[in-house]
Amino acid sequence: MLPTTLFYGLVLLNLLFVCGAWTLAKPSRPAAYVLIGVSVLWVLFNGPIEGHVILSFTPQKGLTESDLLSFAGAGIALWALRKRRRW
């Protein structure tokens, strides 16, 4: 049986991928805003599936592999917002 924190982390990871795909398929302001929100939540709640530490700030805090997914999500959202502004 999975611990609940791992389950919620996996659900949030799937939500991040779905929102990213939705924003890439149909760029819109609501899709971009939802993706930004999910990206922020991912940074806060990705603890159980973080991966290796890339950059350490303190012995307990650092930038991990899974944190890069939130940067990718924010980048996709910013791209969608810029694309919608041009139209």
pLDDT tens, position by position, 63-72? 998 999 999 9
What per-residue confidence (pLDDT) applies to 13? Answer: 93
Residue 87's pLDDT is 54
The pLDDT of residue 79 is 95
Give the separation between CA 22 and CA 9, rounded to whole angstroms. Answer: 20
**pLDDT computed for residue 61 by the predictor:** 85
Low-confidence ranges of the chain (pLDDT < 50): none
Q: Are 77 and 69 in contact (CB under 8 A)?
A: no
Domain ranges of the chain: 4-86
Distance separating alpha carbons of residues 54 and 35, to the nearest angstrom: 24
Q: What is the pTM of this model?
A: 0.86
Q: Which amino acid is at 70?
A: S
